[in-house]
Amino acid sequence: MMLKVLFVQGGLPAYFKFILNRMNGIPGLEIMEIIPSGKGSTLGAGVKEDGANVSFKIYRLEEYKAWYGKSFFKNFEATVLEADPAIIVLGWPYMMHFAFNPVLYFRMKSKGIKIIHRDIPFNTPVFGKTIQYYRQNLNRQENMEGEPGSFTGLMAFMALTLIRSIYFRMADAHLYYTDESREIIGSYGIAQNTIFVSANSPDTDMLLGVNEKIQLEPRLLPINQFRLIHIGRLVKWKRVDLILTAMSQLKNDFPSIELLIAGFGPDEDALKDQVKSLGLEKAVKFLGGIYEPDLLGRYLNESAIYILAGMGGLSINDAMCFAKPVICSEADGTEKRLVREGFNGYYFKNGDATELAKKIRILFSDPEKIKLFGFRSHEIIKNEINIHTVIDQYISAFNFATNNAYLLTVPESKN
């Protein structure tokens, strides 16, 4: 008996394509996906999509803005009827549609379809602490807008919290990326046994294989033990500006300090202007968007430390696959499973370039620690957080939502 699972997403980033391809290859499991027919309104600036070489069926539907101001899909119900899934997996903002259109929700449920809510969750307060969360400026956007202070903004955020309390309860199971999800979602009255923490991961098997291969390839760059690297979209909440400020504080003590920036985005010109103003033109290289794993791996391999100064992504996982120590700030919570203070990296206070410079200095002053931390990063990926452990939690959630009706077998790790 085949379990058909329909994912609903705002696009198809390359990393998630690999996860869906892997799941679609599990015996007894068929994966399908609904994504926008054009550029998804929920995708951040500069997010790279990759629809090539997919093994699962994709439905491309037109997005529209619903009356409550968020995006949903035209012909959604007809597509669901055609796909005939046993499970629908969806997250922000599409899950919200069920709260505002309960008739659609009950029609899905009347057909025996199970609903799984998938999220980080990010910008979601513990229930009962909404005002405190908002006033502490914990509700962040990638353009760094949405500063607290307005009464209207607070009322809107409180209303959203109430809406979340409705649609959280509509899900049969929950898939989240952070351990804090248990406390946060549990505060809305959601049973702990319905919550599965899947973390997040690229195709670590592929990246670990690339890491082995590139050790035999010629270098791209001269040897430099003071080379930093950042990977990510050039948007405000990645805080690349902090890395540049920290470099300006370190360049006298480490004259050969260098930063590679892999990525592109709307803030690129502003960052290049900052580089000039700080006199770092010879020390900073903008590499543009790099999506070839071999090339990106070679740049990582030839760098000493990976830096993420703002909001996270899968770049930490990528860097750890190539045995890099990581310096980052606390962001959306996904980093906490990966980066352990004083073990394979360091944290610095959000927005504090001086503290970031201090943590870089600690590692630059101890090359053996850089090697040790990098080794530990590599081991965390091999043994704890990888594509196998992520899929394990997806399968567990599928089995739970369907009361083990399909008896899916979790794939064994190759590590």
Residues 39, 164, single domain; the answer is: yes
Residues 176, 222, single domain; the answer is: no
Residues 197, 214, single domain; the answer is: no
297 belongs to a structural domain: yes
Top mean pLDDT of 198-207, 229-238, 367-376, 383-392 is at 367-376
Which ranges of 260-366 would DSSP assign to H, the alpha helix? 268-277, 293-301, 315-321, 353-364
Mean pLDDT (whole number) for 152-174: 93
Residues 113, 232, single domain; the answer is: no
Residue 174, both tokens: 């929950």
Residues 175, 312, single domain; the answer is: no
Residues 185, 244, single domain; the answer is: no
Residues 375, 392, single domain; the answer is: no
Largest CA distance in the chain: 68
Question: Residue 57: exposed, middle, or buried by beta-carbon count in 10 A (0-12, 13-18, 19+)?
Answer: middle
The DSSP-derived string for 346-402 is EE--TT-HHHHHHHHHHHHT-HHHHHHHHHHHHHHHHHTSSHHHHHHHHHHHHHHHT
302 belongs to a structural domain: yes
406 belongs to a structural domain: no
DSSP state of 94: T
87 belongs to a structural domain: yes
Domain count, the chain: 2
Residues 115, 12, single domain; the answer is: yes
Residues 342, 397, single domain; the answer is: no
Q: What is the pLDDT of residue 138?
A: 55
Q: In what order do the strands lie in the sheet with 326-328?
A: 284-288, 258-262, 227-231, 305-308, 326-328, 345-347
Number of residues assigned to the chain: 415
Mean pLDDT (whole number) for 134-160: 70
Q: Which long-range contacts (CB under 8 A, 24 or more apart) does 109-114 make?
A: 112/86, 113/80, 113/85, 113/86, 113/87, 113/88, 114/86, 114/87, 114/88, 114/172, 114/173, 114/401, 114/402
Instruction: Give the pLDDT band of residue 412 (cuts 50, 70, 90).
Output: low
- Please determine, for residue 298, whether its predicted confidence score (pLDDT) is greater than 90: yes
What pLDDT digit, counting tens, does each position of 333-372 carry? 889 999 999 999 999 999 999 999 999 999 999 999 999 9
Q: Are the beta carbons of 314 and 202 closer than 8 angstroms?
A: yes
Mean pLDDT (whole number) for 56-73: 96
Residues of the chain with pLDDT > 70: what percent? 94
What pLDDT digit, counting tens, does each position of 240-261 carry? 999 999 999 999 999 999 999 9
Question: Residue 341: exposed, middle, or buried by beta-carbon count in 10 A (0-12, 13-18, 19+)?
Answer: exposed
Residues 39, 158, single domain; the answer is: yes
Q: Average pLDDT, whole number, for the chain?
A: 92
Residues 130, 180, single domain; the answer is: yes
- The CATH number linked to 29 is 3.40.50.2000
414 belongs to a structural domain: no
409 belongs to a structural domain: no
295 belongs to a structural domain: yes
14 belongs to a structural domain: yes
Enclosing domain of residue 279 = 204-383
Residues 71, 127, single domain; the answer is: yes
